[in-house]
Structure 1
């Protein structure tokens, strides 16, 4: 049980860290866009402002995915599932969390190769400011891995709750 608490603490701390990165990027983008619009209106446009905002959006979205999973804010369709008994709902939750974990960690793992390829062989960069893409690729990896770890955390908590429920029901008999 102590190992589970440590596991929960580590993943939630890492999620909190990525959440703060997303919030910092969002606030920075807000200030930068405001400054860019005022500067365009009064003086001269800022060169590359659109590129910087586009890269900021990638960082914002990728760093916000794990927190969105943690908060349960991803799109969910419960119209049908919510009508089933609690045990069947837990089965659906199990498979949903399992698929989330497998798919997101697989994407993150595969994207490591993309990031390494962009860093070492195919050095792509933005058109105007020549900002390389590979650091953004690593942020994409981080976002998907963290999302997958939050899915894994939900899966583990669900499994533990099922076993605790089964043990509690055996004690009553």
Structure 2
């Protein structure tokens, strides 16, 4: 279990790195496009790069968010429930998240196969959409695995709530 956690944590680090690189690239592209528009020469394909870059930015950080238990949580009733119930909710949410991200990956893989078959590409500079769909599927699979491991770790003795409160500080 420890080796699996180490391997997944390294993959999470890689996905964070890819998401961060995409963020830097999209920021530079937008900056160049805005300056170019001021001088009457916008950057061709900036919209395509921005849209596809957002896939990498958003889903590149999802696994880390899942690892930290940082996904959206509505804790209105948290203080009303005993700690055991809150712990069970944390476990259920981790497994539900794993299922949802696995479902996202499944549908995106099907979409990527369709994109390959139809040679779908972005409108302006013809970036193949399938590349970004495969990346999204990979990030979703990693997020599903991360949340599955989080659920197992919570079952095996992690508290979850204290960890999340620490992460928010």
Deviation per CA, 1:94-143: give whole Å up to 9, x if none. Answer: 11111111121122133222212211x22211111111110011011012
Report the counterpart of residue 114 of structure 1 in structure 2: 111
Deviation per CA, 1:40-62: give whole Å up to 9, x if none. Answer: 21351111111111111111111
TM-score, with length taken from structure 2? 0.87
Q: Does residue 56 in structure 1 map to residue 88 in structure 2? A: no
Deviation per CA, 1:67-94: give whole Å up to 9, x if none. Answer: 1212332211112134311111111111
Q: Does residue 157 in structure 1 map to residue 153 in structure 2? A: yes
On the 8 A contact 1:63/1:142 being kept in 2, the answer is no
Gaps of 5+ in 2: 159-169
C-alpha separation in 2, matches of 1:96 and 1:136: 28
Partner of 1:161, secondary structure, is coil
Alignment match of 1:9 (pick from 6, 10, 31):
6
Alignment match of 1:142 (pick from 138, 150, 154):
138
On the 8 A contact 1:19/1:63 being kept in 2, the answer is yes
User: CA-atom RMSD, angstroms?
Assistant: 1.5
C-alpha separation in 1, matches of 2:2 and 2:80: 32
C-alpha separation in 1, matches of 2:45 and 2:108: 26
Gaps of 5+ in 1: 163-173
On the 8 A contact 2:32/2:43 being kept in 1, the answer is no
Alignment match of 2:121 (pick from 113, 125, 133):
125
State how many pairs are aligned.
158
Report the counterpart of residue 25 of structure 2 in structure 1: 28
TM-score, with length taken from structure 1? 0.85
